Amino acid sequence: MPRLEYWYEFASTYSYVSTMRIGALAGAAGVEIVWRPFLLGPIFAAQGWTNSPFNLYPAKGRYMWRDMERLCADERLPLKRPAKFPQNTLLAARTALTLAQPERAAFSRAAFHAEFADGADLADPAVVNALIGGLGLDIPMVTARAGSPDIKAALKTQTDQAATLGIFGSPSFVAADGELFWGNDRLEQALQWARRG
Amino acid sequence: MPRLEYWYEFASTYSYVSTMRIGALAGAAGVEIVWRPFLLGPIFAAQGWTNSPFNLYPAKGRYMWRDMERLCADERLPLKRPAKFPQNTLLAARTALTLAQPERAAFSRAAFHAEFADGADLADPAVVNALIGGLGLDIPMVTARAGSPDIKAALKTQTDQAATLGIFGSPSFVAADGELFWGNDRLEQALQWARRG
């Protein structure tokens, strides 16, 4: 089965939409998705941004939230703007990395839903613990692994690899031949590319 | 007939694609397009950019050109990357503003084609004159009007108005109720919005 890597930052609004769409679309296309969470912060910092571009550039930020409202209405996805944006997603990304693919996808969907449908803060360990518990996983075990040096190193490697692949935003999709697609708007095109091989 | 304002900067790559697509799509949707050229430079400068973000952020720039290749292949549009990017489009924007709507659309299509299909430089008066002549218009008369204080002021007003509307990039589409859509990817959605009233 052809594969497509799905690269996402938990703080990204448009990644909420693609996270909720990718399962059904990939299933219909016969493409296996490899879920690869990373941190956008270090990539933004390397180009001089210490905040989300949606906060740095207010006109762009106002537009993004309105665009998200229209997009979520079209996709019948609930949207609640979190009090804090962007969120510190270190804990969520590390937690996702402790999980094997099927659980990682389920955790990621639950985390994005908590953040953008319920307005919860993923930086709050209680929120993340509730997500882990909701998936029937062992909270102390997952939490311990998420804080381990191995997982910290794995997330750093993951983020370095994102930069090496040319990734500069989230969501991004990378096909087996290295072809890069950026943005929820390119999900269908990326799946089609992956399917063609 | 419902109307949709089409705001575009002649230096913008994605506006090449939307310029070539908008006529047929608007016709099919029964929406009248009002062509409104403006300058993105002053809007970028106001947020601290003295160059295209595609040059300021190289990973984003590399991606954009690859994305354009894929997009133009899908749309069966020729693409030749101009030697200079972004181009100085002051002359092209002023020239477009001298023309009434039907000629303005025709000039704009010809200008984007020259820039991104042939790789020509719109800052070159000979290139712009050839476009004017190609439309059967009077070159000295159009050129004189393009350099007049009235047209210079009109372009400044147009650009100020773009900023007031919340425009921060090109192409943008503004419906009669002020709803803003940004990007070639949002053209269909903008037309649908305009049609619904």
Could you say which of A56, A57, A180 has the minimum Cβ distance to residue B63?
A180
Examine the pLDDT at A176 and tell me if it is beyond 90: yes
Exposure b/e, B64-98, CB count within 10 A at least 16 = b: beebbeebbeeeebebeebeebbbbbbbbbbbbbb
- Looking at every residue in chain A, the average pLDDT score rounds to 97
pLDDT grade for A163, boundaries at 50, 70 and 90: very high
Phi/psi at A172 (5° precision): -130, 155
Dist. CA A179–CA A196, nearest whole Å: 12
- Alpha helices, DSSP H, located in chain A: 13-29, 41-46, 53-56, 58-75, 90-98, 101-116, 125-134, 139-146, 149-164, 187-196
Dist. CA A127–CA A121, nearest whole Å: 7
Examine the pLDDT at A49 and tell me if it is beyond 90: no
Q: Strand pairing of B3-8 and B180-182?
A: unpaired
Q: Do A60 and B180 touch (CB under 8 A)?
A: no
Q: Do A168 and B70 touch (CB under 8 A)?
A: no
Task: Name the residue among B137, B46, B40, B41 with its Cα closest to residue B96.
Answer: B137
Residues of A with CB under 8 A from a CB of B: 47, 56-57, 59-60, 62-63, 66-67, 70, 163, 166-169, 180-183, 185-186, 189
Dist. CA A74–CA A71, nearest whole Å: 5
Distance (Å) of CA A66 to CA A57, A103, A187, B154, B179: 15, 32, 20, 30, 9
The pLDDT value given to residue B48: 84
The pLDDT value given to residue A50: 85
Looking at residue A185, the DSSP 8-state letter turns out to be G
Tokens linked to B41: 């430079």
Asked if B175 and B20 touch (Cβ cutoff 8 Å), the reply is no
Asked if B38 and B9 touch (Cβ cutoff 8 Å), the reply is yes
Q: Which residue of B has its CA nearest to A180?
A: B63
Examine the pLDDT at A197 and tell me if it is beyond 90: no
Complex-level ipTM: 0.94
- Tell which wins on pLDDT, B49 or A28: A28
- Please report, as a single letter, which amino acid is at residue A10: F
Block mean pLDDT (10 aa), chain B, length 197: 97 98 98 98 89 90 98 98 95 98 98 98 98 98 98 97 96 98 98 94
Dist. CA B191–CA A179, nearest whole Å: 31
Number of Cβ within a 10 Å radius of residue A129? 16
Task: Name the residue among B139, B167, B134, B142 with its Cα closest to residue B37.
Answer: B167
- Average pLDDT over every residue of A83-108: 97
What is chain B's Cα-based Rg?
A: 16
Q: What is the pLDDT of residues B6-60, one digit of tens each?
A: 999 999 999 999 999 999 999 999 999 999 999 999 999 988 888 888 988 899 9
Partners of A181 on chain B (C-beta within 8 Å) are 67
Q: What's the gap between Cα A143 and its chain centre?
A: 19
Partners of B166 on chain A (C-beta within 8 Å) are 59, 62-63
Question: Shortest Cα distance from B176 to chain A (angstroms)?
Answer: 17
The pLDDT value given to residue B4: 98
pLDDT grade for A9, boundaries at 50, 70 and 90: very high
Give B25-87 as a DSSP string.
HHHHHT-EEEEEE--SHHHHHHTT-SS-HHHHSHHHHHHHHHHHHHHHHHTT------SSSS-
With vertex at residue B155, the alpha carbon angle to CA B12 and CA B5, rounded to the nearest 5 degrees, is 60
- Average pLDDT over every residue of A163-192: 97
Q: Do B182 and A63 touch (CB under 8 A)?
A: yes
